[in-house]
Amino acid sequence: MSNHLVNETSPYLLQHADNPVDWYPWGKEALTLACSQDKLILLSIGYSACHWCHVMAHECFEDDEVAAMMNQYFINIKVDREERPDLDQIYQTAYYMLNQRNGGWPLTLFLTPEQQPFFGGTYFPKQPRHGLPGFLDLLPRVAETYMTRGDAITQQGAELQKLLADTLPSQNSVASVFSESLLDQALQELKDMFDPVHGGFGQAPKFIHPAELGFCFRQYFLAKNDKALEISLLTLEKMSQGGIYDQLGGGFCRYSTDQQWQIPHFEKMLYDNGPLLQLCTDAWLATGEPLFKRVVVETAEWVRREMQSPVDTAGGYYSTLDADSEHEEGKFYVWKRDQISQMLTREEFAVIAPYYGVLQPPNFEEKYWNLEIVQPLSAVARVVGISLDEAQQRLKSARRKLFSARESRLHPGRDEKILTSWNGLMIKGMVYAGRVFERKAWIFSATRAVDFIRSTLWKNNRLLATYKDGRAHLNAYLDDYAFLLDCLLGLMQTEFRTVDLEFAVALAEVLLNQFEDKEVGGFFFTSHDHEKLIHRPKPVHDSAIPSGNGVAAIALQRLGHLLGEFRYLQAAERALHLFHPVISRRPSANCTLLTAIDEIIAPPKIVILRGCEPDLSKWQRQLQCKFPQLFVIALSSELIGLPPSLNKALPTDGNVNAWVCQGVNCLPGISNIQELLHVCEVQGKIPPLL
């Protein structure tokens, strides 16, 4: 018999629709019921690709005995953290305040009927195990505590509410002074945390930290900081050679369980792979190393093959691939040695086995191999006694056979909901890689996703957060608007369309009207007309995804400079003044906001090209490959109806005119590509015209 989740669109919620637990989605019905019956809320937050969410579901939520107790004592609410990041942010923060340690998924919290948390954990087994209390024992004890210590719980809730309120930054009494010293301090902190042997930051488990790596590339491209380049290059090289990268199918997993990037938690998330497309493209631009180009190509093709909905049904990008298949983590990806040897020729195995570490002891659960590159192919070729070209041919043939065989396995589950924010991250990465590597199919893929969002998730001049099975719903969040605005700026630098500029302006207006804190600055995570919750976050730090406030500030500044719209620039600056004290305490945790500060100190150079093909595209490509951080928009001479800031004079003595601007200052038109390249190479600010 189904519960109240049966009509939801989230695959994660639908996974629990047939549980014996009387689950409700978060909403008025469940919250009202908790108050009217004076029952505690058992809040369970997870997501469809989460391994331990599946484990707890099998052990507890599918168990009749546990379900009966949950139904007796609690109003049970199941939340997909990807659909409701607002709830996840609030209750992960509350969990940390209650327990003084980070949470995770599944998150299991017990709330009063007024939605105040007072106790919780993450994963609980049915019976006590490995130092964890059994869920069956815990449930009646929690219910009894509420009945006997209600006043103390109410007092604790009031104290927690104050702590949550204190997480919001307050207005500065002294105006902030933006200084490059913050950038230097951030880079020094990253150097101190950097693993010089394996790359990345810190110990196991090791996460990707895309904002920090992107900041390092920016310091290299703009300031030629070689140490910053080393941090990003070594990290991406070790990841690309490691088991966190799918060596056969492309794409990166969410994190590594070890320090060497060898064994991942096998789920693949859209939000990781979008930024990684851009990072690996930057690595290739900096070095020309074939490894990075191969990873970009394989990852982009994996996205198009497995993560994009068909054009006749949608066009957006799906969210995740599960870690598990057939109830086993990683089963789809790992191999036994004889499986590999039996499907390859002796010559192919002689190359692929030492290359991917299959001759070493098993690296996963002591009986399987998760493929990783353990030595250069050139070294394998020398040992085998063949040329590098021959080794490459054998490797290519063997990989093709292994991939084909793997395709016949039962695939991990795919969460096919389309999230606006995560699509923004993937569109930006896909269009950037497509521009640099001149892959029209990737640019078309990104354009399809943008057009889908605009046609399906943009209703009455407001965004919706999620789409699945023909239904778009849920009020969108800061990240949805900021990431989508940011990716539109990237798309306009690749293939300018007036409709994208109009969409970008509309998104910027909603950011200012619905998300900005007009009193003290910064942007709330939820809109002014959003459901009232126990807390309204204003997120600052980068996490697995970049800071929504940071991306909003960057995108608004760039759009403001592009259009000469000072309201956008002022909103971004107000946010940065508000967050400046927080950033100053630990700059490396705020690399996205630091980029926005950097672009206040020295506004980005914007190059507007007007002219005719094919020279227009040639000029654009030369600029973008030589100066990856340059903002370049190529406008065909046939375009009409452009805003004044873009409606530059058409060329009279050649095929292309270039206009270079920085802040409010612009140079006279340039009609010679060599002169333009020289101007863009010169460091420092453009002087004002007299």
Confidence of residue 205 (pLDDT cuts 50, 70, 90): very high
Distance of CA 98 to the CA centre of its chain: 27
Query: What is the residue-averaged pLDDT of the chain?
Result: 95
pLDDT of residue 173: 64
pLDDT of residue 689: 47
Top-confidence range, 151-165, 588-602, 637-651? 588-602
What's the pLDDT tens digit per position in 366-422? 999 999 999 999 999 999 999 999 999 999 999 999 999 999 999 999 999 999 999
Q: Average pLDDT, stretch 137-151?
A: 95
pLDDT of residue 654: 73
What's the pLDDT tens digit per position in 255-264? 999 999 999 9
The CA distances from residue 487 to 65, 425, 446, 450, 659, in Å, are 49, 7, 9, 9, 23
**Could you say which DSSP state residue 514 is in?**
I
Confidence of residue 313 (pLDDT cuts 50, 70, 90): confident
pLDDT of residue 314: 81
Q: What are phi and psi of 20, to 5 degrees?
A: -70, -15
Quick one: what percent of the chain has pLDDT higher than 90? Answer: 93
Confidence of residue 150 (pLDDT cuts 50, 70, 90): confident
Token code pair at residue 201: 């930051």
**Could you say which DSSP state residue 174 is in?**
S
Q: Average pLDDT, stretch 322-326?
A: 93
Tell me which amino acid residue 12 is: Y
What's the pLDDT tens digit per position in 454-465? 999 999 999 999
Q: What are phi and psi of 487, to 5 degrees?
A: -70, -30
The CATH-assigned architecture of domain 11-166 is: 3-Layer(aba) Sandwich (3.40)
Alpha-carbon torsion, ordered 563, 480, 416, 326, to 10 deg: 130
What's the pLDDT tens digit per position in 48-71? 999 899 999 999 999 999 999 999
Token code pair at residue 572: 């971004």
Q: What are phi and psi of 109, to 5 degrees?
A: -125, 145
Residue 80 CB neighbours (<10 A): 29
pLDDT of residue 245: 98
- Residue 31: in which H helix or E strand, if any? helix 28-37
pLDDT of residue 685: 65
How far apart, in whole angstroms, are the C-alpha atoms of residue 624 and residue 203?
Answer: 36
pLDDT of residue 655: 86
pLDDT of residue 687: 57
Q: Average pLDDT, stretch 300-318?
A: 92
CA dihedral (36, 37, 39, 44) positive or negative: negative
Q: Which of 500, 417, 442 is nearest to 278 (CA)?
A: 442
**Could you say which DSSP state residue 41 is in?**
E
pLDDT of residue 106: 97
| Cβ 616 vs Cβ 655: under 8 Å | yes
pLDDT of residue 443: 98
Quick one: what percent of the chain has pLDDT higher than 70? Answer: 98
Is the model's pLDDT at 612 over the cut of 70? yes
pTM: 0.96
Is the model's pLDDT at 688 over the cut of 60? no
DSSP string, 617-676: HHHHHHHHHH-TT-EEEEEETT--S--TTT-PPPPSSSSEEEEEEETTEEPPPB--HHHH
Of 686 and 690, the structure prediction assigns the larger pLDDT to: 686
CATH number belonging to domain 181-325+415-601: 1.50.10.10
pLDDT of residue 690: 39
Confidence of residue 1 (pLDDT cuts 50, 70, 90): confident
Q: Which of 4, 23, 19, 49 is nearest to 416 (CA)?
A: 49
Token code pair at residue 376: 């250069």
**Could you say which DSSP state residue 532 is in?**
P
How far apart, in whole angstroms, are the C-alpha atoms of residue 250 and residue 241?
Answer: 12
What's the pLDDT tens digit per position in 498-542? 999 999 999 999 999 999 999 999 999 999 999 999 999 999 999
